[in-house]
Amino acid sequence: SRKKINQEINRELLEELYFKENKSMREIASVLKTGKTTIEHYFKKFKIKRRQRSEANRIRAIKYPVWKK
């Protein structure tokens, strides 16, 4: 059975979180209290272009810098 999503997921919300706030799909899923595959489904449904791996790595490096000893 499918889980009922409390918040309406729409294109504007996903684009705001993904492009403006630079959240990953996993972070978006956590914020919306749903699974990552659900977010992937909506990205395909709304034809939202995903980041290239190099861009995702660059964003991750800024958000989570490597620990220094």
The gap from C-alpha 21 to its chain's centroid, in whole angstroms, comes to: 10
Max Cα–Cα distance, the chain, nearest Å: 48
pLDDT at 64: 86
- pLDDT tier, 8 (very low <50, low <70, confident <90, very high otherwise): confident
* Single pTM value for the model: 0.83
| Rounded-to-integer distance, Cα 22 and Cα 20, Å | 6
For 24-67, write each residue's pLDDT tens digit: 999 999 999 999 999 999 999 999 999 999 999 999 999 888 86
With left for phi above 0 and alpha for psi between -120 and 50, is residue 22 left, alpha or beta? left
